[in-house]
Amino acid sequence: MKNLLTDIAGVRVGHAEDPKVGSGATAIIFDSPAIAAIDVRGGGPGTREDALLDLANTVERVDAIALSGGSAFGLDTGGGVQAWLAEQGRGHRVREALIPIVPGAILFDLLNGGDKAWGRFSPYRDLGYAAATAATSADFALGSAGAGFGATTATFKGGLGSASAVTPSGIKVAAIVAVNAVGSVTVGNGPWFWAAPFEVDGEFGGRGLPDKFTEDILRMRIKGGPAASARENTTIGAVVTNAVLTKPQAKRLAMIAHTGFARAIYPVHAPTDGDVLFAAATCETPIEPLVGLTELGTIAANVVARAIARGVYSATALPFPGAQAAWKDRFG
């Protein structure tokens, strides 16, 4: 186990960034189409193909998931991933037509100091293609990488994180999250992460929690303060398992796993967030549909919380004047 999304067999992850723009994209590629669903909790989401994932709709499996910066411009990322898949002969067949199915979500990173004057067309379609081309089943970068390259939070530089686990019944589950929250992933102004109770082997510093929660520690810290905008934030990600799930069960997994956002971000699911979590299943290992799915969701929520903390812990500050400091800039 690498403690990454690629611990799930048949899943590959690739990043692409544009340092000048201060943004990037991440492609999650499934070697075989995966059952997928989505759960949206934030008040300002930006998504692609979310209606397709509705339980009332026909298509059940997806070829990839695209995560990106760029706000609405970043929705072009899915087109780049789709183009790469088409070149590989991948997609949903409708007679002689082949259509790669690529849901996606975006976060807002347009005010982080990068050069966003890119001309007529944004760079995100090309970033999506490059991310898909780079996708690997091996290790991939965390922190200021891919969709988390330009991310920020209320207190420290945001980033992309991942984590994985095996349930007591032997099911694998892993998450990848790009953290650009309006709230804070750290407790107060200190080095502690809200996700500390779920930390494994010091994966985000091993600092635990403060001895006492004061009124100041529990005070709301949000990006932008009174001027916070619904277009400036969003945490997006995916939780993937090797369990055999139906589309409704994948939806339930996304709903339970979304609890991990609340375990790691304070406050969360705000009107000024666009929080989105996909759930996907590669359908290799059977699972008991009630207790087994509950157990899977419980572990998945912990994994999501860990991935969020790892994203901020691993981030590095952008090289722009006035750029937000990273956690390691202050706490080493």
Confidence at 226, pLDDT banded by 50, 70, 90: low
Q: Which amino acid is at 62?
A: V
Of 18-22, 232-236, 253-257, the one with minimum mean pLDDT is 232-236
Peptide bond into 319 cis (omega under 30): no
Check whether 332 has a pLDDT greater than 90: no
CB-neighbour burial class of residue 320 (10 A; exposed 0-12, middle 13-18, buried 19+): middle
- Whether residue 47 is predicted with pLDDT greater than 60 in this model: the reply is yes
**Is residue 239 over pLDDT 60?**
yes
Neighbours of 56 (CB within 10 A): 5
Of residues 328, 310, 256, the one with CA closest to residue 140: 310
272 confidence band (pLDDT: 50, 70, 90): confident
Residue 120, pLDDT above cutoff 80? yes
pLDDT value of residue 222:
81
The three-state secondary structure class of 231 is coil
Strand, coil or helix: what is 178?
strand
Largest Cα span, the chain: 64
| pLDDT, position 274 | 85
Closest CA to 126 of 20, 19, 12, 25: 25
What's the rounded Cα separation, in Å, for the pair 47 and 45?
A: 6
The residue-averaged pLDDT of 119-141 equals 97
* pLDDT over 90 (residue 216): no
For the stretch 61-76, pLDDT in tens is 999 999 999 999 999 9
- At residue 280, the pLDDT reads 98
User: What is the reported pLDDT for 148?
Assistant: 98
Residue type present at position 189: N
Residues contacting 88, CB < 8 A, separation 6+ = none
Please say if the pLDDT value at position 230 is more than 60: no
pLDDT given for residue 238 in this prediction: 98
Helix 291-313 vs helix 247-257: angle between axes, to the nearest 10 degrees? 50
Encoded amino acid at 44, one letter = G
Question: How many CB atoms within 10 Å of residue 126?
Answer: 18
The H-assigned helical ranges of 135-287 are 247-257, 259-264
pLDDT in tens, 139-177: 999 999 999 999 999 999 999 999 999 999 999 999 999
